[in-house]
Chain A
Amino acid sequence: MSKSALNKLKDTDLTTSEHGQAVGLSLDEFERAVKLIGRVPNKVELGCIGAMWSEHCSYKSSRVHLKRLPSAGPRVLVGPGENAGVVDVEPGNPQGWAVAFKVESHNHPSYIEPYQGAATGVGGILRDVFTMGARPIAAMNLLRFGRVAHPKTPSLVDGVVRGIGGYGNCFGVPTVYSSAEFDAAYDGNVLVNAFALGVLRKDRIWKGNASGVGNPVMYVGAKTGRDGIHGATMASDSFSAGKESERPTVQVGDPFKEKLLVEACLELFERGAELLVGIQDMGAAGLTSSLFEMASRAGSGVVIDLDQVPARETGMTAYELMLSESQERMVLVAQAGKDDDVRAIFHKWDLDCTTIGTVSDDGVVRLRKDGVEVCVLPATPLADEAPRYERPFTAPARPEPLTRVDVQALKKNPIQIVLDVLLSPSTAPKTWIYKQYDREVGAGTLMDGTHAAAALVRIPETQIAVALALCCNSRQCSLDPHEGAVRAVVEGVARISAVGAVAVGVTDCLNYGSPLVPEQMGQLAAGVDGIAHACRVLEVPVVSGNVSLYNQTDDQSVLPTPAVGVVGVVDDLATVAPAMPLKAGDVLIRIGAPPTSLEGSFALWGKVGRKGALPVLDLAATSILCGFVRDLRRGGHVLDARPTLLGGLAQCLFDFARCADLSARATLPVDEDFFASFLGEERLCFVVAVDNQGVFDVQRRCADAGIASAVLGALGVSSSFRLQDSGGDVVFDRPFQKLVDDAEAVVPDLIASGRRRSA
């Protein structure tokens, strides 16, 4: 049945299972709902049930898997299930600092309307974080676009980047890290994952609880309009050609309003429990999910008069008010009698703040509109007893390993193969993107993704900094969903280790295809296992996250992309070498044993079919290596460090050189294979830059720790970027500045090509 039949119903008209389909409920689910409430739901109730039981809100296909993720740990203050996870930054100090963070997807809206889709993705995740009582101090994003030659790619890149910048810059959060890659698998379904992190005092964490019978339920922020109705349902469905017609369902963001909201909320939090009981933002499924979740968490109910909800348009029905996903809105429960004090704070910031109801004790969400009761639903069953499915899945088939023939073909033209890696849109510098993000607002940014392996941001007015990176090698995940997910965690930990930080928490955004396709469900299951395994061995808990399924268009699924955000702490800035510019003559040392094959490497992607058997990474050894590099990075002679990741050692050296604005020259130690060592990605190493006097010291420390090291070369000794094999023969040699200019031009050229095409 189409949505139009549902649209014809009035709020209190009773529904059928066919109407249920229009809000995304299967026949079974509709019957389950009828049984649960003991009668047939009316239209408003059906809308609430459909939204609460959508994949987006209920995680009904993924929940059985998610519980395998390790979420406990001595630093965990708030784990999964709240608006964001909270991790202790200063154990031992009861009033010390904590960080709240989470990553969330906004894939479908961003494909339909790139600017607003991406902007509201940023807005939503910022609200999730400040709802906990935290002031946002850093944002990141992970973006996956289709191939460069696809006609939609340039405008999608342009719109998404403008949207992220437009929202974050105005709100005033520095966007310090961005992972942007391109692959044909995302032609019809881009990924836009937004991460935010905020700081708060650990004794002042707020949660979405509607407790205390008689306490007022208040609505604050923007007015409710008809935008985004059924967004949660849209996010829980596949794409097909012509989905652009869904554009009206994409919400419109107002970062200025959100800025006012954060300042007002932080003022309210300062006043503490004297005024406030609980607070929650209105995200997916709008007022519905906020009211049901807040009541459910507290085991209470609420009585709401929908006529009091500030509406942007006249004549809005109860159904529309409950399901609108208008942005920049919050629900809070205040202490009885404190309505006026709360209102005064929001009015100072020129924001609407209205009492819309009260907390009750019967566990029921009651909604009135025009004096008529339009919804009577139990809170907890809807929030917690959503259907859960153990969808059938098949374990992913392991791809074949590379053959001699595959590798030999590649080796015929080593210059081209290195150039292909260095000048690919996925590895190319993202300067064009970063420049559109304010990376320094807050004046606390020590490092960002333009020049460092991870971002490093100071907690205001302290000597503590937070390190962060958001990672996924989607290609390795497509070859081996389990091992790829392990490596997404490892990449994040390696990156933050490279800037001297200790990993304290993980958040993940699991982007997969359809849960109804056993192979794709199998990728999700394997991905969760991979993250769980890596997080256990590396002893870092998963404290928040999000699942995005149905990332497919007309049966073409995206590469499995579990985006892993890793957060680390540097507890004393003085221990991290200050940002000293690298200079000519600084020595490049590889730390860790080099790869010995090209399995799973970017250099071969798209050149040998779906081949490449990633070996199981030795996590214990990798963990030791990361810790070792972290200690090296803290003080002493090590000026900078980077892990070898996408594109292997060659890319790592080039990034070093490009960021230092100095050419590099590297020669392999004896008995190494040029291709495996420079382009292999089957295991992780680091490259560190060391001042001349420190080389012996670093090598001795490596030897003492039993960790392999090799002096590869130096920065700035000539004007060419040169890679030499074990025999000292020059295999790759290019004028450095030309190479940098070509690499820097890749992303701007991509955008320009789109403009030419549309002209």
Chain B
Amino acid sequence: MTVVVVTFPGSNCDRDCITAVVEGAHGAALRVFHKEHELPETTTAVILPGGFSFGDYLRCGAMAARSNLMPAIQRFVDAGGPVVGICNGFQILCEAGVLPGALLRNRDGRFHCEEVELEVSGDSPLLVAYQRNENIVLPIAHGEGNYFADDDTIALLERERRIAFRYVARDEQGHGAINGAKKAIAGVVGGPQRNVIGLMPHPERRSLDLHGADDGMPLLEALLSYSEHRRHS
């Protein structure tokens, strides 16, 4: 059982995700470089980590979405394999069309690194370790986390309970107060079996004793136990 953490050029949370899986969740993790064409056969889950893949040049996530490994990840998703995209990983999943929408520059044009309160709101096997409508606190660290999708898509996400996380702090229109994300969307569920989650906050930064809080652990644990469950079924 192996959680693959993909390293793109410019990924800078790949090691953090491995530490979270190994040290926090006592799982096995492996870094795989973006130039590979296949995932290792032992792959049971995939994390696309945060960072600035390809320098965020062109558009954040755009070039990573077209790297060698992405078709293999798409096949893994189609087969129901669990995938989590964190921050830049979320941006990549959107650019690759695995998840709907796009992440635009924060409304105030600035990078924001701060703790945010989130409402766990969606249905996914990767969210089962949270209480429904539980509020958690995770840190964000991004310049482009302003989630956007057209109104029909947003309505669909709401109807299908595929908004994984919402920012609790909102403006008068109900958008995210910090980055302007439409309907305060911080994370989205996708995949044929709701097996994909993309989110802007960083669960791996709240997964170890030294972090003083472990609000990221339920997501990582669900990623591991869902993998385990799939393996046995």
Contact = CB atoms under 8 A, between A and B. Distances in A.
Interface stretch (A91-99, A238-246, A429-437, A539-547): A429-437
Interface in B196-211: 202, 204-205, 207-211
Given A434-B113, A436-B110, A443 B19 contact: yes
A350 B139 CA distance: 32
B54 interface: yes
Interface residues of A, number: 36
A443 B111 contact: no
A441 B20 contact: no
Contact of B210 (A162, A171, A438, A446): A446
B173 to A, nearest CB: 22
Contacts of B13: 172, 441, 443
A254 B55 contact: yes
B12 A441 contact: yes
A440 B113 contact: yes
B12 A259 contact: yes
Contact of A349 (B9, B111, B112, B113): B9
Interface in B17-49: 19-20, 23, 33, 35
Interface string B117-151: 00000000000000000000001010100000000
Interface in B49-63: 50-52, 54-57
A439 B113 contact: yes
Contacts of A461: 19, 23
**Chain A CB within 10 Å — which of B10, B141, B210, B212 has the most?**
B210
Interface string B88-128: 00000000000000000000001111100000000000000
Contacts of A166: 111
**Chain B CB within 10 Å — which of A260, A435, A578 has the most?**
A435
Given A170-B56, A256-B57, A443-B205, A436 B113 contact: yes
A443 B212 CA distance: 12
A259 B111 CA distance: 19
B113 A443 contact: no
Nearest to B20: A443
Interface string A324-353: 000000000000000000000000111000
A127 to B, nearest CB: 16
Interface in A247-282: 254-257, 259-260, 263
A628 B16 CA distance: 35
Contacts of A434: 113
Contacts of B33: 348
A436 B141 CA distance: 8
Contacts of A481: none
Interface string A561-581: 000000000000100001110
Contact of B113 (A170, A348, A350, A438): A438
A460 interface: yes
Contacts of B210: 444, 446, 458, 573
**Chain B CB within 10 Å — which of A443, A444, A446, A573 has the most?**
A443
A228 B230 CA distance: 57
B141 A443 contact: no
B112 A460 contact: no
Contacts of A438: 111, 113, 141
Given A256-B10, A444-B210, A460-B19, A169 B111 contact: yes
Given A259-B52, A579-B212, A442 B16 contact: yes
A170 B10 contact: yes
Interface in A161-176: 162, 165-166, 169-172
Contacts of A260: 9-10
B170 interface: no
B131 to A, nearest CB: 22
Contacts of B35: 348
Contacts, number: 93
Contacts of A580: 212
A236 to B, nearest CB: 32
A172 B113 contact: no
B10 A441 contact: no
Contacts of B9: 256, 259-260, 263, 349-350
A170 B52 contact: yes
Contacts of A255: 52, 55
Contact of B16 (A435, A441, A446): A441
Contacts of A439: 113, 141
Nearest to A444: B210
A172 B111 contact: no
Contacts of B15: 442, 460
B230 to A, nearest CB: 27
B23 A256 contact: no
B119 to A, nearest CB: 22
Nearest to A456: B210
B11 to A, nearest CB: 8
A573 B33 CA distance: 33
Contacts of A257: 55
Contacts of B212: 446, 578-580
B30 to A, nearest CB: 16
A436 B114 CA distance: 9
B12 A435 contact: no
Nearest to A172: B12
Nearest to A260: B9
**Chain A CB within 10 Å — which of B9, B113, B143, B202 has the most?**
B113
B10 A259 contact: yes
Contacts of A460: 15, 19
A435 B113 contact: yes
B55 A440 contact: no
A348 B68 CA distance: 14
B137 to A, nearest CB: 12
Nearest to A458: B210
22 contacts: A169-B111, A170-B10, A170-B55, A172-B13, A256-B57, A257-B55, A259-B55, A260-B10, A263-B9, A348-B35, A436-B111, A436-B113, A438-B141, A441-B13, A443-B202, A443-B204, A443-B205, A443-B208, A444-B210, A446-B210, A458-B210, A460-B19
Given A169-B143, A443-B208, 20 more contacts: A169-B52, A169-B113, A254-B55, A256-B52, A257-B55, A259-B55, A263-B9, A349-B9, A435-B110, A435-B112, A436-B112, A437-B113, A438-B113, A439-B113, A439-B141, A440-B202, A441-B141, A442-B15, A443-B20, A443-B202
7 nearest CB pairs, A to B: A172-B12, A256-B55, A443-B16, A579-B212, A170-B52, A438-B141, A438-B113
Interface of A: 162, 165-166, 169-172, 254-257, 259-260, 263, 348-350, 434-444, 446, 458, 460-461, 573, 578-580
